[in-house]
């Protein structure tokens, strides 16, 4: 069963220097952390900060393309994980019906934020994540469903509680080296 989630935060895993997007159940407390690439993290962060550019960025272009050919991004779905890799699809509504397009979750989330589309994840993925409270006021930290870096190492969380001005300032101060090396 798919449940609606929202982007709760975007952070950097201190142990791997990899960006992590944390999705939170819309009507609950369960979390789903997904380790993503630096480019996709930047695209998500830019949209979360409400930053605008004179020319469309790649994810903006995709939303525009879907619109111009008469489609609407209805939702994205994150249905499963296999060998530590999450799978997702863009669900585009057209006059001929729904079209499912295979995509990475990180790109899908960046596009969904721009199109104001729903983000859905399989409930079983949310059930895989244990919550671990690090300290008072920090909120729950997810533990991944399998071996790998612990999101309790996530630092510099971006999202709820940070103003768009603070986020924009944070993004402008980032150096590509801040994201480290990413290897799929």
**What integer pLDDT is reported at residue 135 of this predicted model?**
32
Tell me if 26 sits within 8 A of 4, measured CB to CB: yes
How far apart (Å, rounded) are the C-alpha atoms in residues 12 and 33?
A: 11
Tell me the per-residue pLDDT of 19-49, one tens digit each, with 9 for 90 and over. 999 999 998 889 999 999 999 999 999 999 9
Three-state SS letters, 85-106:
EEEEEEEEEECCEEEEEEECHH
Q: What is the largest CA-CA distance in the chain?
A: 51
How far separated are the first and last CA of the chain, in Å rounded?
28
CATH, domain range 2-175 = 3.10.690.10
In the predicted model, residues of the chain with pLDDT beneath 70 are 129-184
What is d(CA 13, CA 85) in angstroms, rounded to the nearest whole number?
17
User: Which pLDDT score is estimated for 86?
Assistant: 94
Phi and psi at 31, nearest 5°, equal -120, 155
pLDDT value at residue 17: 84
* Structure tokens given for 60: 């903006």
- Kindly report the three-state secondary structure assignment for every residue of 43-89: HHHHHHHCCCCCCCCHHHHHHHHHHHCCCEEEEEEEEEEECCEEEEE
Give residue for tokens 């050919």. Answer: 69
Give me the pLDDT at residue 150, please.
37
Q: Tell me the per-residue pLDDT of 115-127, one tens digit each, with 9 for 90 and over.
A: 999 999 999 999 8
pLDDT at 181: 45
Alpha-carbon distance of 115 to 103, in angstroms, equals 15
Domain ranges of the chain: 2-175
Closest CA to 72 of 91, 90, 93: 93
């Amino acid at each position: 069963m798919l449940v609606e989630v929202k982007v709760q935060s975007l952070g950097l895993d201190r142990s791997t220097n990899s960006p992590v997007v944390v999705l939170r159940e819309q009507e609950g407390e369960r979390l789903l952390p997904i380790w993503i690439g630096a480019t996709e993290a930047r695209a998500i962060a830019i949209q979360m900060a409400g930053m605008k550019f004179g020319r469309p960025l790649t994810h903006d272009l995709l939303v525009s393309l879907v619109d111009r050919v008469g489609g609407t991004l209805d939702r994205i779905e994150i249905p499963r994980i296999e060998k530590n890799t999450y799978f997702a699809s863009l669900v585009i509504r057209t006059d001929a019906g729904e079209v499912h397009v295979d995509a990475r979750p990180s790109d899908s989330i960046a596009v969904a934020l721009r199109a104001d589309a729903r983000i859905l994840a399989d409930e079983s993925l949310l059930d895989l994540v244990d919550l671990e409270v690090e300290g008072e006021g920090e909120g729950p930290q997810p533990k991944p469903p399998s071996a790998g870096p612990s999101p309790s190492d996530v630092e510099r969380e971006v999202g709820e509680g940070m103003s768009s001005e603070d986020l924009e300032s944070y993004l402008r101060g980032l150096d590509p080296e801040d994201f480290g090396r990413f290897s799929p």
